Structure 1
Amino acid sequence: MDRTEKREFVASLAAVFAETSMVVVTRNEGLTVADVTDLRRKVRAAGATYKVAKNRLATLALDGTRFEGISPLLKGPTALAWAADPVAVAKVIVEFAKTNDKLVVLGGALGTQTLNADGVKALAELPSLDTLRAQLVGLISTPATRIAGVLQAPAGQLARVFGAYAKTGEADAA
């Protein structure tokens, strides 16, 4: 890479850091090409990006962004993963790391908050954004369903009482 390419790469990476909400740093020592291809496919399916970048260039791109706190993690063979949905990228990386011991989660950053490896793993255990939305809609609709059930219950009870009186009246008349 010549100087111009390096400048362009740093600028593009800085632009990505300005737009994203979550960055995960991994150590990818010993991953085969097939493993990395599989990981990238899974990361892309989750709407995230996985990129191996030179540590020095990544550090330059991090300067002045809210993710500056992850700069000390960039030592040795590292790679970065990022996405707008923080839970999605954390889930994919952590799940892949469970099945492949050559990928190690070093940490990450969620906005200005720097996370260690346990923080990224805890974030991965949260439900996805779509699941949270579904749960919220369920919570909102449940009270309405209960109110409708409570309002219908007295009418149903009255109908049963009238039905019971009618049956006793028929039994007395017979």
Structure 2
Amino acid sequence: MGLNRSEKAVVIGEVSAQVAQSQAIILAEYRGLGVGALTELRKQARAQGVYLRVLKNTLARRAVVGTSFEGLAEKMVGPLMYGMSSDPVSAAKVLSAFAKGNDKLVLKAGAMPNYVMDEQGVKALANMPSREELLATLLGTLQAPVTKFARTLNEVPGKFVRTLAALEEKRKAEA
């Protein structure tokens, strides 16, 4: 049985709120995917903070109207699952990783604010490092010169102590 008008309004409101918080929306076709596989996908998505929902395309189109994801409306065709996340990469990573292990899930399209991607764009986004990984790399890059400088400063007294020890050994050997 379908949803009545007030239930549809509630769904549109919920999805609109999720769209407003999202930095990325990924569309995937789930035709032929079993309940067990869908449950596993939802579990993985929840663990990564990805909002995953199967929606009627008309409701999804209404939810993105007036947002920076409005360009995605023309890609909303067929039985689709919508993955939304506040991290631009995590939704693409979760759906792409699951699609690699299950050929029934097919990535169709995606969008970031004011930018619509095709399947290849979504895969490229999934291969990018996450925000945390990028920050860790940046931090390592910034710390490297400081760490090297500290080691260099510590090496001067260490070299001096080793020189004194060698001199002492030499004098003991001469005596």
Give 1:108 deviation, angstroms. 0.5
**How many angstroms apart in 2 are the aligned matches of 1:36 and 1:160?**
65
Stretches of structure 2 that go unaligned for 5 or more consecutive residues are none
* 1:32 maps to 2:37: no
* 1:77 maps to 2:79: yes
Please give the residue correspondences for 1:34-113 in structure 2 after superposition, counting only pairs within 5 Å.
34-113=36-115
Code of the aligned partner of 1:78? L
**How many angstroms apart in 2 are the aligned matches of 1:28 and 1:167?**
77
Task: Answer with 16-25 or 131-140: which moved more.
Answer: 131-140
* 1:150 maps to 2:152: yes
Aligned length: 173
**How many angstroms apart in 2 are the aligned matches of 1:42 and 1:162?**
61
Code of the aligned partner of 2:70? E
Q: Tell me the alpha carbon deviations over residues 7-53 of structure 1, each in whole angstroms, 9 at most, x when there is no partner.
A: 22222222211111110011111111112111111111111111111
TM-score (norm 2): 0.90
Code of the aligned partner of 1:149? R
Q: Specify the SS of the correspondent of 1:31.
A: coil
Q: Specify the SS of the correspondent of 1:47.
A: coil
Q: RMSD across aligned C-alpha pairs, in angstroms?
A: 1.6
TM-score (norm 1): 0.91
Percentage of identical aligned residues: 37
**How many angstroms apart in 2 are the aligned matches of 1:114 and 1:60?**
17
